[in-house]
Structure 1
Amino acid sequence: MNYRHAFHAGNHADVLKHIVQLALLDAFKRKDSPFFVLDTHGGRGRYLLASEESRKTLEIEDGVMRLMAQPSLPEVVERYLKAVQADNPVGALLAYPGSPLLTAQSLRAQDRMAACELQPDEAAALKALFAHDARVGVHEGDGYQLLRALLPPKVNGSKIGRGLVLIDPPYEVQDAEYPRILTALSETLARWPQATCAVWFPIKQRRTILHFLRKATALPVKSALTIEFLVRPDESPLRLNGSGMLILNAPFQFDRTVGPALPALRKHLGEAGASTRLDWLKTPV
């Protein structure tokens, strides 16, 4: 596998993904009972913006940095920006926190996270990042396979009833990735039926993801919600035109929580023809 997220950290896809991720975590924190997060493709956890990879693409300049320059944004977007800033000196943006670090920032003493990473050097960086955080377990290996050992989650022998499974693979070969995701979702729901599952997916041409969304919606879940942001029309299959998040078993009224972010993203990050979509593919009962 050749994918390195350092080239893309903080871009428009990360913005959407991490706004949704943090909103999900905040929903769990409305109750005192513990929750568990499984991040199947954790990466290295933190990305230095002075790195060769980041400086080569400068994708962050058209992503989170544009939002940082805005005087006023919806609360759900401001929440995300504060989380990014919390990993940086005041008034500076030197690093971008990946999904495991954003989760760790949100955990309470009673909550737990397991982060998986297949690439040895990225896994080593992730282990070093959380070496002194007893709430976080880092596992080197294939996150799809490791979920069998990690679910249902337990702490001191007691099961944790609530939580999130975040699936954000590199999609190096998209046709091969979607069947693996569907298998992982099926296994997750069989082992932990009440889990909220969040899947990030790229959009080059939207019609190519419809089969996956139909298959995922047919799984035994109470609800299925898609949140999508296209920075430009999906006319070219050769570039990342946008991305989306599929949320299975979404928290109550989650669409109302995250919905205000979408017009702001279209306004500040979108090009001509940008669009957003917020659809219940399976409406909560």
Structure 2
Amino acid sequence: MVAVPVVAVVVAAQGTAQSDNAHGSAAATHCAARGVAYNTRPRGTSAFCAGVPPQCIRIVDSSLERRALFLHLLIMLSYRHAFHAGNHADVLKHAVVLQLLRYLGQKDKAYWYIDTHAGAGVYSLQEGYAVKTGEFQTGIARLWERNDLPSLFSDYVDEVAALNPDGQLRFYPGSPYIAWRQMREQDRMRLFELHTTEIDVLRHNFRDAGRRAMLYAGDGFDGILALLPPAPRRALILLDPSYEDKRDYTRTLRCVEESLKRFPTGTYAVWYPQVKRLESQRFPDQLKKLQERNWLHVSLTVSNPPTDGFGLFGSGMFILNPPYTLPKLLKDQMPWLVKALGEDKAAQFKVEYRGD
């Protein structure tokens, strides 16, 4: 097991990407204002990619397209996952991602982990955005002190506990952090993040990772296509946009479709929200059409839809080329999660699987 990167900024600093020194100063100032400790340990040598790879740069010709792209960026740059860190959707997503990574790690051959929307990597549950919403209280917090966890969720809670060695639930790991803890010397990580502040924090948290973790400040939908197929021909690709822009549903479908042409044997994990939006309701069936066989769909509904029509009441994970062991594991253990996280009588789960 490789060393886990030092967690530095857990409440994201405000501002745009700057030089290392400027970023450190801005982050320290912002964290001090919020009463959050900032790690000022000298940086080690790092090999992060600070720019957008050429393949991610798209020429926008028409004024209409420019306006559409500008609107998309505004929506993207207003979204911060810290508001939702550790909620019920994260519990499902990260428990599944962990099992996918551990399955890949059973063979000695190297694999890649690719994340289209990596976020900051680590989040504070005691300061900043997560405290404002308190969504983790009905997610990871409900599992934190349970002594009856089935293996799927015990493994997941162990990963969260590794970030909280004093036993207090202070920090929550994002997908990149969980993935990094599973990686071996031969494995590689490629992370994309478009939000200017999130990528700064992500770089800091992975500043000592070396060349095995490459970070890209850009659009993951476009960027991952240039990386496929990866050299070892083994990879987990996680696609988990916010879907606050409804075009993310279409972009995700197109990205997976194009990725399968380049790398048909990869494992693709697509997260999606359950919200009162037609695009969300249609999404699982659209994903099923991308590949006739060898897919797995699991969803968790925790409550009835909100009466005001807004808000998350569940989520799902759709996996293409999943491990053959995962469907039974989910069918056996998801009933426990429904009881642990369910809010009303509408709480339920679904597992659908079509093998080879």
Q: For this structure pair, what is the TM-score category when the shorter chain's length is used for normalisation? A: over 0.9
- Equivalent in the alignment of 2:146: 70
Q: Any idea what SS the aligned residue of 1:81 has?
A: helix
- Equivalent in the alignment of 2:334: 262
The size of the alignment, in residue pairs, is 277
Structure 2: distance between partners of 1:64 and 1:115 = 24
Work out which of the residue numbers 152, 167, 172 in structure 1 matches 2:229. Answer: 152
State whether residues 206 and 234 of structure 1, in contact with CA within 8 Å, keep that contact through their aligned partners in structure 2: no
- Equivalent in the alignment of 1:137: 214
State whether residues 36 and 164 of structure 1, in contact with CA within 8 Å, keep that contact through their aligned partners in structure 2: yes
2:261 partner amino acid? A
Unaligned runs of 5+ in 2: 1-75
State whether residues 116 and 143 of structure 1, in contact with CA within 8 Å, keep that contact through their aligned partners in structure 2: yes
Structure 1: distance between partners of 2:272 and 2:126 = 27
1:265 partner amino acid? L
Structure 1: distance between partners of 2:234 and 2:330 = 20
The 5 Å alignment of 1:118-267 reads: 118-134=194-210, 135-153=212-230, 159-174=231-246, 176-205=247-276, 208-220=279-291, 222-234=293-305, 236=307, 237-267=309-339
Q: Any idea what SS the aligned residue of 1:137 has?
A: strand
1:152 partner amino acid? P
Structure label with greater radius of gyration: 2
State whether residues 226 and 244 of structure 1, in contact with CA within 8 Å, keep that contact through their aligned partners in structure 2: yes
Structure 2: distance between partners of 1:132 and 1:36 = 18
1:54-104 deviation line (CA, Å, top 9, x unaligned): 111111111101101211111110000000110122211211000111100
Q: Normalising by structure 2, what TM-score?
A: 0.75
Residues 109, 221 of structure 1: CA spacing in aligned structure 2 closer, same or farther, 3 A cutoff? farther
Per the TM alignment, residue 212 of structure 1 is displaced from its structure 2 partner at its CA by 2.5
Structure 1: distance between partners of 2:169 and 2:216 = 29
1:162-205 deviation line (CA, Å, top 9, x unaligned): 1111001011122x111100111011111111011101100024
1:137-158 deviation line (CA, Å, top 9, x unaligned): 11110000111222211xxxxx
- Equivalent in the alignment of 2:17: none
State whether residues 28 and 35 of structure 1, in contact with CA within 8 Å, keep that contact through their aligned partners in structure 2: yes
More strand per residue: 1 or 2? Answer: 1
State whether residues 221 and 248 of structure 1, in contact with CA within 8 Å, keep that contact through their aligned partners in structure 2: no
Q: Which moved more, 1:5-14 or 1:213-222?
A: 213-222
Q: Any idea what SS the aligned residue of 1:260 has?
A: helix
Per the TM alignment, residue 235 of structure 1 is displaced from its structure 2 partner at its CA by 6.5
- Equivalent in the alignment of 2:135: 59
State whether residues 233 and 275 of structure 1, in contact with CA within 8 Å, keep that contact through their aligned partners in structure 2: no
- Equivalent in the alignment of 2:351: 278
Structure 2: distance between partners of 1:190 and 1:50 = 44
Q: Normalising by structure 1, what TM-score?
A: 0.93
Q: Any idea what SS the aligned residue of 1:265 has?
A: helix
State whether residues 116 and 221 of structure 2, in contact with CA within 8 Å, keep that contact through their aligned partners in structure 1: yes
Q: Which moved more, 1:63-72 or 1:221-230?
A: 221-230
Task: Indicate the percent of aligned positions where both proteins have the same amino acid.
Answer: 39
Structure 1: distance between partners of 2:161 and 2:243 = 28
Q: Any idea what SS the aligned residue of 1:18 has?
A: helix
